[in-house]
Structure 1
């Protein structure tokens, strides 16, 4: 067969009812599609079998992680062109069943089955997390989920994150094209959080989900506070403790492997939670907010830095991104920012400021992808080819999601306001003093 690409293109277009916006190169070397467009490389028939067995995002992800699919040319342009066919179609099982009543659709499926060949289905890549569908968010399951994502290897994360070792949205004064750097933007983010929290010498900060210790070190070194950083990742904790020791801050920074529900040595003057609340889960979010409020002294501030999804018409439906859930952040859940603010207020917080920094995360993710691609061979050696492909896909796709306003990220400042009502906040809060 020397025309696999043309047959594949024709059958997919017949199935979807729209022209394919990308070029295809198939396993037999044939090509079809718009000249000059990003090329979807279909390396083998197994890629087609994966998409037939699991149409949509998860089948595409399985083929990508296994190395059956790739994109040549501009990765972002390729993913952007394909997003309308995969991520934005929004087809559920009912609409798929209705589509299969169409004789042309059924004929296209039969043609793809013949092209793919036996057997069906291929086994998922070993990187996929397989477990019961219900997300329990117990201490045990949360620890296992965190370990899956963060215990990939500190050397691998050094490649992706760079010297700052901050795994959350940076705060860019200028993009790289205008002289900005990732390290400078991450330093500015840590300083912005410190100012929003009103950190001052002698205070106590709890850093929930402390990662590799960057926020804890910055707060202690630059603002003179005592910090307790907590994480569920053994690898992160070991790395953070070494950094603290190298900085000569062991008298002011303690790193613990501890669940936030087990912290019992409050009150703290301030709490930072940066990129951690996405792991809490909707069923546990009120508990999370109540625990953090109890750990704050009256007048203490919380900085909650969290990715948000856009609201759906039916918020009672269970909304989980299959690729992210299966390969990246098991048990992770995103909520609309309005839901987050409501839960914080239900817990007794007074929400004083919400700042969206959506565009900043797109810039950050693109830099991380560049870092990964720049040391691809070493990254594959450290984490394995499948895991490296997972990270490249999820970071590039996430950058596009932020750019197109499909998801956002917000910093919420909330206070445990004392009974007197004196919040201690400046009249013009954005001065952050």
Structure 2
């Protein structure tokens, strides 16, 4: 039988590798235009995507993309700007303004290749009418702590922006726009990947206002006015400016999970993909998954051991403590607390971009003896969970998973290996 920790890490690595631009981007490149080719974009994978475009493009091109600090890739013709994630900063703001300037004089003979991946919502920042960067930062921080889903957060972001929600594609008109997407959102909705800068938006200002009110997020007068007046409305279906714009999904969470499953099957372990778009509070998902794992161990249902339960998606964390955490280690710690040392159950949960929360830690590994080892060190697992301190908990055990920047992002990887 494969050593659980080794096999789970091999599966995570395979999931990340399957979403690398070098594999999945070239087949989706459009033919060169009669006019200019301009490359723009934003996201944690955008710099690596730009590098691959340069290597595979037959003619002239230029452009600018924005990526997270530390996620740059060497390019010769496309400028790479690094900015802040998950809270936007001045570097992202300045670069977003420059991108709008680059697309301001395009013709129908020109082509825009837009490279979009997860993280683009904070990297491609341009506040809406009457707003400034400080307001966007405050709203973004509040949303991240609120427990709102990624779809809800991106609805708000689209309506407080001058570049998201289809506005970037509209600014490129009449040029042809081909957007290459690496999905990091449940359901792979283009409107939710980086808040949809090049795709139409079916939601409206009233929806965004209702979300802010639902989670009790304080709104400055300028935000309330923008939403209540409708002046923050995004580009809607049927808008003529998007008639020459298309999107191509080049990598998805499901593709990554299938690659990971292939590694497990090659090792002789049955694997079951439970879903690629699981959402909800991270600790609640951990509790549910613990119940499924216990059923496998105790009753051989719904699957017989040995087996691996694999899932993806994007959970949320309502922050109540002041620990060092992220949604994957929150899930994993809740799973461990609920299993309470159940023999034969191992797990790994990581973010495929290499960053879980705001630290350069992808996630962690959980073993049947993790809680016992924590108690030996005087660490109380339930208190760590209550304090949102998953990184502190697993770091003390030496069980953090550190991958470094992966240069891609197809959301979360969660694998539970039940050996007996």
TM-score by length of 1: 0.32
Higher relative helix content: 1
